[in-house]
A and B are shown apart, each in its own frame.
Chain A
Amino acid sequence: MVNFEINFNGLKLKNPILTASGTFGYGYEFEDFVNLNDLGGFIVKGTTRHHREGNPYPRMAETPSGMLNAVGLQNKGVEYFCKNIYPKIKNYKTNVIVNVSGSIVDDYVETAEMINELDNIHAIELNISCPNIKEGGMAFGTSCSSAAQVVKEVRKVYKKHLMVKLSPNVTDIVSIAKSVEAEGADSLSLVNTFLGMAIDIKTRKPKLSTITGGLSGPAIKPIAVRMVWQVSKAVHIPVCGLGGIMNYEDVIEFMLAGASCVQIGTANFINPDITMKIIHDLKVFCNQNNIKDINELIGALNC
């Protein structure tokens, strides 16, 4: 038997496979395809203090080996989440993590405070890296001081596992990671989407209503792996890796680079049952390669 359990700085994961915020709804959308209890965890859609309608259509453009999105954190706000969505997801036997986003520090703090009261939410993922909202979002995650400030304030009110999702749209992701670690983050997740753009050459118009959007999918994977490698070497808290993972081989690559667990994102759109296949394939790989404990892979890069 291979040990698949991971202790992610106090958060017990039954395996290293989680799903990425914004690609997995609230989990139940995938119930026909996935046994949610078999996941290491799932991270629900970005939740903000107040209702957000998100950006106008078109919000998505397919690109080579990836896609751009500009959804803009459409959600009904944290109060609606606590009242209407939490009851539907609280009984899953896995880690249910809420992605918390905002435009101002107070919004992050108030949202985190409300989520803190929900017994069966085991962690939050603080989203200081959304490229698709006008104020806040990524702006917090692109300077060390603002990233530190929002983490510091949220840390005061949020008592459980605090994961911070980093933006790759920075000159030095390592320095941001260290600032966030210094303010008491329990773990990091990286990377969010890369700021990108696509143009319709016939109309000469941008393909997204917001002109720019976030690039995800296998197109970004090598950059994400590099960033996970750089950050995981530089910090003492564990890293959750994401960016274009499509199969079990990609998972192993991220883990070798230093990720303790991973998130599957855009791949859920193409194969809604992909997480189940990846978990199965990982087990087969470990058995075939005489890996007794999945933890052996974390940071086991030969170089």
Chain B
Amino acid sequence: MKKFIHDFEVLYNLRLNNQYFLLKLFNEEPLPPILPAQFVQVKIEDSPQTFLRRPISIHDVNYEKNTISLLIRIAGKGTAKLSEIKAGEKLNLVYPLGNSFTMPLDDSILLVGGGCGVAPLLYTAKYFMQFGFNPTLLLGYRDKNSILRKERFEKYGNVFYTTDDGSYGEKGTVLEHSIFNSEHFPYKNIYACGPTVMLKNLTIKAKELNVPLEVSLENLMACGIGACLCCVQNTTGGHKCVCVDGPVLKANEIIW
């Protein structure tokens, strides 16, 4: 897939809560085809504390309006600086990067997201829905107030929730949701994004259930295009670059 480097215009920067913000970005050029779980490399201007671009997963795409949305957690100095960007300013992106979740063969897909790992699952659900699938989402948050873009997610699939404190949905982590305890686990594919510990435990769970699992990783990255070999994940097939061989890898080949 051809990659581009373009200046996008910030249409809005919406603060969702004390940790998350949503950027809607517009480009005059028509958008290239974008696949679920692909990401952009964002250049952060005037940020003397940071140096490299920041890899951010694509949260939503609107081809009619030429817009890309990014749902971003303030994780450090780079994303903190990025959270200050204002409507009308330019943001330079290298995109679209990485592979994608595999198009399922069977209409019984479970998308599992934890924390900021929910970000790519909105576009993933929307994308699959366009192909006639009805994905189910299982999203894990700390508490009720941490839930992100609830109505939006619910537009593209049946959504189950867990919260650590039980203030919404089932209490506990996504791994503890009753979906996994049902005698006949109804899903034929699981796609997940979230903290390493969640993905690791989900790998064990998927193996028990004998269901194929694909995970989207977020290793530290420099170039984003397969040149520097910094973002490698150890797998049964050796070191793989999360930026070009991923971000989506088959869970059963990952050596955690």
Interface residues of A (CB under 8 A from B): 22-25, 29-30, 32-33, 45, 53-54, 56-67, 69, 71, 74, 217, 266, 268-273
The reply to whether B94 and A71 form a contact with Cβ atoms under 8 Å apart is: no
Known: A54-B232, A269-B222. A30 touches B227 (CB 8 A): yes
Nearest to A61 among chain B residues (CB) is B220
Interface set, chain B 140-164, CB cutoff 8 A to A: none
Q: Which residues of A contact B239 (CB under 8 A)?
A: 53-54, 57, 74
Interface of A: prevailing SS: loop
How far apart sit A173 and B165, CA to CA, in the bound complex (Å)? 61
How far apart sit A288 and B253, CA to CA, in the bound complex (Å)? 57
> How far apart are B92's CB and chain A's nearest CB, in angstroms?
8
The reply to whether B222 and A69 form a contact with Cβ atoms under 8 Å apart is: yes
How far apart sit A56 and B244, CA to CA, in the bound complex (Å)? 18
Known: A54-B239, A272-B5, A272-B94. A62 touches B225 (CB 8 A): no
Interface of B: prevailing SS: loop
Closest 7 CB pairs between A and B? A60-B230, A25-B227, A269-B223, A32-B3, A269-B222, A29-B227, A71-B229
Could you pull out 10 A-B pairs where Cβ atoms are within 8 angstroms? A25-B225, A29-B226, A32-B2, A32-B3, A53-B238, A54-B239, A57-B232, A57-B233, A61-B220, A66-B51
Q: Interface residue count for B (Cβ, 8 Å)?
A: 31
Q: Which residues of B contact A66 (CB under 8 A)?
A: 51
The reply to whether A54 and B227 form a contact with Cβ atoms under 8 Å apart is: no
The reply to whether B52 and A59 form a contact with Cβ atoms under 8 Å apart is: no
B177 within 8 A of A: no
Q: Which residues of A contact B221 (CB under 8 A)?
A: 60
Q: Which of B2, B52, B223, B226 has the most CB of A within 10 A?
A: B223
The reply to whether B219 and A33 form a contact with Cβ atoms under 8 Å apart is: no
> How far apart are A129's CB and chain B's nearest CB, in angstroms?
18
The reply to whether B238 and A60 form a contact with Cβ atoms under 8 Å apart is: no
B4 within 8 A of A: yes
Q: Which of B50, B225, B228, B234 has the most CB of A within 10 A?
A: B228
The reply to whether A67 and B52 form a contact with Cβ atoms under 8 Å apart is: yes
Q: Which of B43, B52, B234, B238 has the most CB of A within 10 A?
A: B52
B53 within 8 A of A: yes
> How far apart are B171's CB and chain A's nearest CB, in angstroms?
29
Interface set, chain B 223-256, CB cutoff 8 A to A: 223-234, 238-239, 244
Nearest to B94 among chain A residues (CB) is A272
The reply to whether B229 and A74 form a contact with Cβ atoms under 8 Å apart is: yes
> How far apart are B135's CB and chain A's nearest CB, in angstroms?
31
Q: Which residues of B contact A266 (CB under 8 A)?
A: 222
Interface set, chain B 17-72, CB cutoff 8 A to A: 43, 48-53
How far apart sit A32 and B227, CA to CA, in the bound complex (Å)? 13
The reply to whether B219 and A57 form a contact with Cβ atoms under 8 Å apart is: yes
The reply to whether B227 and A269 form a contact with Cβ atoms under 8 Å apart is: yes
How far apart sit A60 and B43, CA to CA, in the bound complex (Å)? 18
The reply to whether A24 and B229 form a contact with Cβ atoms under 8 Å apart is: no
How far apart sit A271 and B5, CA to CA, in the bound complex (Å)? 8
The reply to whether A272 and B225 form a contact with Cβ atoms under 8 Å apart is: yes
How far apart sit A282 and B238, CA to CA, in the bound complex (Å)? 42
> How far apart are A188's CB and chain B's nearest CB, in angstroms?
24
The reply to whether B225 and A29 form a contact with Cβ atoms under 8 Å apart is: yes
